[in-house]
Amino acid sequence: MESIQIFGIIVAAFMIFRATYQCWKRKMKRSVFIIWSSIWFVVIVVAVLPGTTTIVAKLFGIGRGIDVVVYLSIMVMYFLGFKLYNRVEETRKEITKLVREIAYMEKKK
């Protein structure tokens, strides 16, 4: 086993532990915990059995396994960026609403 595989397994195991701890402390929703744990479990599987990416690549008609990993990583990053953007916009709107309400209450005094 290569050192990068061992490193990947250690990082993924640590992240699963962190997600479990966050869920146990009720700082993370169970659905989010399942998603993150699944992602890190896949990282462990790919680290232990790197040939699995080639099998998945062949299913999608892609030449190399690493290409599948790169494509999926890019898609996940765009998805997370989109969700983060939406969350920031929601927060911005809520702050604007609160500031307006506070200003209105201050003006009434």
| Reported confidence tier of residue 96, pLDDT bands at 50, 70, 90 | very high
| pLDDT at residue 109, rounded to an integer | 73
Residue 98 forms part of a structural domain: yes
Number of domains, the chain: 2
Tell me what pLDDT residue 24 has.
95
Q: Say how far apart CA 69 and CA 46 lie, in whole Å.
A: 10
Shared domain check, 70 and 45: no
pLDDT of residue 107: 86
Cβ atoms of 40 and 16 closer than 8 Å:
yes
Structural domain of 19: 1-49
Do 75 and 108 have their domain in common? yes
3-state SS assignment for residue 9:
helix
User: How far is 60 from 67, CA to CA, in rounded Å?
Assistant: 11
pLDDT band at 99 (very low <50, low <70, confident <90, very high): very high
Which pLDDT tens digit goes with each residue over 45-91? 999 999 999 999 999 999 899 999 999 999 999 999 999 999 999 99
| Rg of the chain in Å (alpha carbons) | 21
